[in-house]
Structure 1
Amino acid sequence: MIIRETVDSFIMIKQHDHAYISGETIKHVNRNLLKSDLFFDDFVYASHQHDRSWIGLDETPIWNDAKQIPFTFSDYPLLPKLAFYQIGLDEIKEANLYAALLCSLHFCSFFAKSKDPDCLQFLQDEASRQKKIRKELPKLDEELLIQHFQLLQLSDNLSLYFCLNEPGVDKESEHPWFRDGFKNTESFHPGNHKLLARWVNEHEVTFDAYPFETDFHVTLPYKKVDKATIRKLGIAEAYGESKLEEHSILIRK
């Protein structure tokens, strides 16, 4: 679950909904930025599906007693998270080998500096998965794969940018992850800088260098869960009783 706290509520967004927006953004990427059009549909599928591991975990949100907020994707208990990561990757692999390779690389990047034995085992298992997939994908273009991986990360981060920021927020008050631009995007910027987004108003976002072919809309589904209701009913029931709302965003030049 992706969580943004307000004074009297939590804005709660399911990971798989966020991932769908990732795919809806990156399918508009300027094709001239890519080495080739090979595997483009597979790459977009990976963006749409990269968080399907969270479908089961997000069905019932759980409470973090230490922080007094619902558990989020960044602090969710490690062992169930790793187990569901592998389940999700297994499901993606059944549907699309190239997408599974991209998503596996994406998940492994989360734990690149970890020394936790469970994370190290996850990395070892995924390295084995990636090796097997590479054998099944003849003449794999590693440079194109790197481009797709970087754009998958951009799609993930841009969707998180929509989720974690209050719509219309000033640049200096943005979530710190994105204030200085999106990581690993220099090769998609004509000035070799990180791509930088900003909110124009509550419903519009633009870039300093536009990486897409056209302007487009996305729709972010979320629930606004009242803190008083959580205290009365508990997080799971309060979330279940909260209505699903939508926020429309125009991404434009």
Structure 2
Amino acid sequence: MFITKHNDGFLYIVNQYDHSIQAGEVARHWGNEQFDSPEHFDSFCLAVEKHDIGWIDSDAKVLFNPDTCQPVPFLKVNLLQHVDFYGKGYEKVKEEDPYAGLLVGMHWMGLYTSRFGYDPSFTFNIPEELASFIDDTIVNKQKEWVDLKMQLWNRSMPKSKFEDQLWLNYELVQLMDRLSQYVSMHKLDTKEEITIGPVRKSINSEGEMITVQGQGDGTIVLDPFPFKTPVETTVRFRKIPDARYESHADVYKVMEEAEMEFITWKFVPKNKELIK
């Protein structure tokens, strides 16, 4: 769960899988005269849409921290649970679409490796006693991907091109994840500016950062703008009082009774002109 506070006495809660579905809907608008649509586009979009599918059960049950007496935000989830949730999601997506599953697996392992160096500012906090377990998990999954990549590689193209396109798609998954996190963890009046990326406009270009800034009215300016047209997107969330709950049962009951609410955002280019 994404759990944020906005100084109004409430916790704002977005389920992990709702976040990934929303991100996947936006991903389908990717590409314009500046930004190429990647190869394996449908698989890329499916990977974005389902990268957090392994969290469905945990979101429904509501993870509870007895020390804080509140639900557990995604960055504070027990590491063994984190591995278990993502592992189940990876296997599920891989069965449906092996290429998308590979991207979900790369996203999963990237959370323990600063996104494979793509985003050095982020990596999941790994306790010292679990470091060797995570190292083994990362190595074993990458060994598994050797066979999977050989199955997916179209031998009419150079293997290096296949690998480069795969990593480009991985980078786009990360960018869509970060963009969705922005709208999932802010209110409509935000004017916060962040940079996400780097992102390549084509397979052969250098990566560049995208500036993301709210305008205070639910409009978000992206510069440069990577989508075909301005994109409207809706975030599903619930609010519960920012309080200490006596038990898991108490917070679960409050979560169950909380009304689902919706916020609509709009991504637009800096120059306000429609992309043609």
TM-score (norm 2): 0.81
Cα distance, 1:37 vs. partner? 4.8
Contact 2:10 2:240 in 1 (8 A): yes
Gaps of 5+ in 2: 115-125, 270-276
Alpha-carbon contact 1:219-1:249 (below 8 Å) kept: yes
Match in the other structure for 2:168: 147
The AA in structure 2 aligned to 1:62 is L
1:182 aligned to 2:178? no
C-alpha contact (below 8 Å) 2:70/2:245 kept by paired residues: no
Listed as ranges, the gaps of 5+ residues in structure 1 are 172-178
Are residues 20 and 64 of structure 1, via their aligned partners in 2, closer, same or farther at CA, if it must alter by over 3 Å?
A: same
Deviations, residues 174-212 of structure 1 (Å, cap 9, x unaligned) = xxxxx4400322x34999641011112332111121111
User: 1:111 offset after TM fit, Å?
Assistant: 0.8
In the alignment, the residues of structure 2 paired with residue 158 and residue 37 of structure 1 have an alpha-carbon distance, to the nearest angstrom, of 18
Partner of residue 127, structure 1: 142
The residue that corresponds to 2:177 in the other structure is 156
SS of structure 1 residue aligned to 2:3: strand
Superposed CA deviations along residues 90-130 of structure 1, whole A, max 9, x for unmatched, are 10111001001111111111111656122123212321331
Amino acid at match of 1:154: L
Could you say which residue in structure 1 is the equivalent of 2:91?
A: 90
Over aligned residue pairs, what C-alpha RMSD do you find? 2.4
1:81 aligns with 82
Matches of 2:94 and 2:208, distance apart in 1: 34
TM-score, normalization by structure 1: 0.87
For the residue of structure 1 that corresponds to 2:195, the secondary structure is coil
Q: What displacement does 1:62 show?
A: 2.4
Q: CA deviation at 1:162?
A: 0.5
Q: Which residue identity lines up with residue 55 of structure 1 in the other structure? A: I
CA separation of 1:105 and 1:32: change in aligned 2, threshold 3 A = farther
Residues 55, 85 of structure 2: 8 Å contact kept: yes
- C-alpha displacement at 1:228, in angstroms? 5.1
Q: Distance in 2 between matches of 1:33 and 1:100?
A: 28
1:198–1:46 Cα change, 3 Å: same
- Corresponding position of 1:217: 232
Residues 217/200 of structure 1: CA separation in 2 closer, same or farther (3 Å cut) = same
Partner of 1:174: none
Is 1:242 the counterpart of 2:243 in the alignment?
no
- How many residues were matched structurally? 245
User: Aligned pair 1:104/2:125, yes or no?
Assistant: no
Structure 2 CA distance, aligned partners of 1:31 and 1:134?
Answer: 28
Kept in 2, the 8 Å contact 1:216–1:250? The answer is yes
2:10 counterpart letter in structure 1: S
Structure 1 residues 55, 203: CA separation in 2 closer, same or farther (over 3 Å shift)? Answer: same
SS in 1 for 2:110: helix
**What is the CA-CA distance between 1:229 and the residue it aligns to?**
8.9
Matches within 5 A, 1:31-46: 31-32=32-33, 37-46=38-47
State the match for 1:117 in structure 2: 132
Counterpart contact for 1:230–1:238, Cα < 8 Å: no
AA matched with 1:246: F
Contact 1:229-1:238 within 8 A present in 2 as well: no
The answer as to whether partners of 2:38 and 2:169 remain within 8 angstroms in 1 is no
**Do the aligned residues in 2 keep the contact of 1:197 with 1:208 (CA within 8 Å)?**
yes
CA distance in 2, matches of 1:108, 1:33: 30
Cα 1:130–1:195 change in 2 (3 A) is: same
Deviation at 1:36, TM superposition (A): 6.3
Mapped partners of 1:191, 1:129: distance in 2: 30
Do the aligned partners of residues 34 and 104 (structure 1) sit closer, same or farther apart at CA in structure 2, a change above 3 Å counting? Answer: farther
Distance in 2, matches of 1:46 and 1:143, equals 17
Q: Is contact 2:70-2:243 (8 Å) kept?
A: no
Identity of aligned residues (%): 21
Task: Report how far residue 68 of structure 1 moved.
Answer: 4.7
Give the corresponding residue for 2:14.
13
